[in-house]
A and B are shown apart, each in its own frame.
Chain A
Amino acid sequence: EVQLVESGGGLVQPGGSLRLSCAASGFSLSPYWMSWVRQAPGKGLEWVANIKQDGSEKYYVDSVKGRFTISRDNAKNSLYLQINSLRVEDTAVYYCARGIPGEDAFDIWGQGTMVTVSS
């Protein structure tokens, strides 16, 4: 079965850090752009970051630039998001998602991992 499974979320104080992971199974990560998308409680979807197949290009939404770092390890079939200097407004479910080649639509999503930033 083709799936993505996120892990690493939790409760963290403002200013803290977390590393989110996304493990792919049933397919190889290497041919695909991969993204992180988040959803604050009761709110809509927000694209956060994405990374090219070989990791040579990375893009971020303005609100996380300099604080979040996306990376991947194709050999481990995994995607990561290092999130530093966390703010209350970063509280959200974080999803990893696979991009359709040439379309930039997200066809496979993980179940999400919750990040709560609170003192």
Chain B
Amino acid sequence: DIQVTQSPSSLSASIGDRVSITCRASQSPSSFLNWYQQKPGKAPKLLIYGASSLQTGVPSRFSGSGSGTDFTLTISSLQPEDFATYYCQQSFIGWTFGQGTKVEIK
């Protein structure tokens, strides 16, 4: 299976900040790289699939980019409801999640 590693594991940011989270794969997952948001006590929510496609209903401040082994989730202007943990997932060979990035209020 392909392993995926996220960085950073946590970050502190302020409302309105631009935030980026990186996901590095052990080998290329082609474009089968997805991003999820999870809030405490809740199920994960799909944000981005296919590396850069925005899931229906997800605000446009979320975007995904990348290719090869390096991918990025960007939040263009952090909002109060965006404080959560974010996971990348590859679904090209097997299905593996990154360890998560917790976004906290500065």
Q: Which residues of A contact B (CB under 8 A)?
A: 35, 37, 44-47, 50, 59, 95, 100, 103-107, 109-112
- Which of A47, A100, A104, A107 lies in contact with B97, CB distance below 8 A? A47
| Contact B87–A103 (Cβ < 8 Å) | no
Residue among A95, A100, A104, A112 with most chain B CB within 10 A: A104
**Across the A-B interface, how many residue pairs have beta carbons closer than 8 Å?**
59
| Contact B99–A44 (Cβ < 8 Å) | yes
- Which of B34, B43, B94 lies in contact with A111, CB distance below 8 A? B43
18 intermolecular pairs with C-beta atoms under 8 Å apart: A44-B97, A45-B100, A47-B95, A95-B43, A95-B44, A100-B49, A103-B32, A103-B49, A104-B32, A105-B46, A105-B89, A105-B91, A106-B36, A106-B44, A107-B49, A109-B44, A110-B43, A111-B42
Beyond A104-B32, A106-B36, A106-B46, 16 extra complex contacts between A and B, CB < 8 Å: A44-B87, A44-B99, A45-B87, A45-B97, A47-B94, A59-B94, A95-B43, A95-B44, A103-B50, A103-B91, A104-B92, A105-B55, A109-B43, A109-B44, A110-B43, A111-B42
For chain A, what secondary structure do more than half of its interface residues adopt (helix, strand, loop), or is it mixed? Answer: strand
A109 neighbours in B (Cβ, 8 Å): 43-45
| Contact B44–A107 (Cβ < 8 Å) | no
> In the assembly, what is the distance between CA of A47 and CA of B97, in Å?
7
Give the bracket for the number of chain B residues in contact with chain A: 20 to 34
Q: How far is the CB of A24 from chain B (nearest CB, A)?
A: 14
